[in-house]
Structure 1
Amino acid sequence: MNSIYTIKEALLKLEHFCAYQERCHGEVVSKLYSLKMTADEIDTIVVQLIEHNFLNETRFACSFARGKHRMKSWGKIRITNELKARQISSTNITLALKEISIEEYESTFENLAERCWDSIPEKNILKKRKKFCDYLLRRGYESHFVYDKAKELEQK
């Protein structure tokens, strides 16, 4: 037995880890590997965390989507890609994106776009437009929103 912790100790440690903030399965498994747990022990602990509702992929996805949209103003594309990178199922990703109301999404996009456009000091309108579009696309907003908004702001 090469683990530093017993299953009971590791389970307790991971319960605190999951209670502190929502976690995805990948984060929990890598934390357990860092605690030098064996694959069988990891499986046992993950099952227990799920049974006791410390680990819930749907809850994680919804909380992640809400938080990244509200705090970091990420768009749906970026949120989707980040959740996919964490091996979250497409069903859970769809549910998570429903957590963001259309009104809230559009209002966040409008505010971010206005702020971004006003903050770019570029005189050349083509360069300004490129910087504006690149920024919002990187943030994960849909291209048709971004390009329509760029046209609208150029007219001002």
Structure 2
Amino acid sequence: MGSNFSFLEAKHKIEAYCAYQDRSHFEVKNKLFSWGQSPDQVDQLMAYLIENKFLDEGRFAESYVSGKLRIKHWGRIKIRQGLRLKQIPEKIVQLAFKTIDPDEYFTILKHEIAKKQKDLASEKDPWKKKAKVLRYVQSKGFENDLIFEALAEVEEE
């Protein structure tokens, strides 16, 4: 399989790719291989990117956690699955999770519950409504114990 880009072209393009937003090693390797770089070239470029701070799995994991929580309103379960798909080592995932503020996390969960309850205002059966809200926040990746605690708080407010 021939190379789509010279080594130098690939180096410049991958620098731009990594500078645009934090990437995982897995994503960058796949991108380089898709450009027809040889395994040796990929290894060389990966070492260069890490050495020059274009690539940092810890930084990637932290920005991924922050973005998925604050923008997409995902829970830890779904965020962890996303990081696993990007082949981030578990110890890096655990460090990134330490950046989650528990109060902010709980507030986001309560916000998602309240928003879903409002969307389901036309649902007259309280059990069906509760089941739909529960399924919704579970699908967003929140933990059951926190869901039940948050549901109780939202219902009190």
| Normalised-by-shorter TM-score class | over 0.9
TM-score (structure 1 length as normaliser): 0.92
Q: In 1, are the aligned partners of 2:109 and 2:150 still within 8 Å (CA)?
A: no
For 1:5 and 1:111, the matched residues in 2 are separated by 47
Aligned to 2:59: 59
Equivalent residues of 2:22, 2:63 under 8 A apart:
yes
| Residue 115 (1) aligns with residue 112 (2) | no
- For residues 32-47 of structure 1, the aligned pairs below 5 Å read 32-47=32-47
Q: Distance in 1 between matches of 2:155 and 2:15?
A: 52
- CA RMSD in angstroms comes to 1.7
TM-score, reference length from structure 2: 0.92
Q: Does residue 71 of structure 1 match 2:38?
A: no
Q: Does 1:104 align with 2:107?
A: no
The change in CA–CA distance for 1:105 and 1:149 in structure 2 (over 3 A counts) is closer
Aligned position for 2:21: 21
User: How many aligned residue pairs are there?
Assistant: 156
CA distance in structure 2 between the aligned counterparts of 1:155 and 1:142, rounded to whole angstroms: 20
5+ long unaligned stretches in structure 1 = none
Instruction: Report Cα offsets for 1:25-52 as digits up to 9, x if no partner.
Output: 1111111112111111111111111111
Structure 1 ranges of 4+ moved more than 3 A? 148-156
Q: Percent identity of the aligned residues?
A: 36
**Alpha-carbon shift at residue 107 of structure 1 (Å):** 1.3
Note the residue ranges of structure 2 that are not aligned, 5 or more in a row: none
User: The residue matched to 1:147 in structure 2 has which SS?
Assistant: helix
In 1, the alpha carbon distance for the partners of 2:154 and 2:48 equals 53
SS of 2:87's partner is coil
Give 3-state SS (helix, strand or coil) of 2:127's partner.
Answer: helix
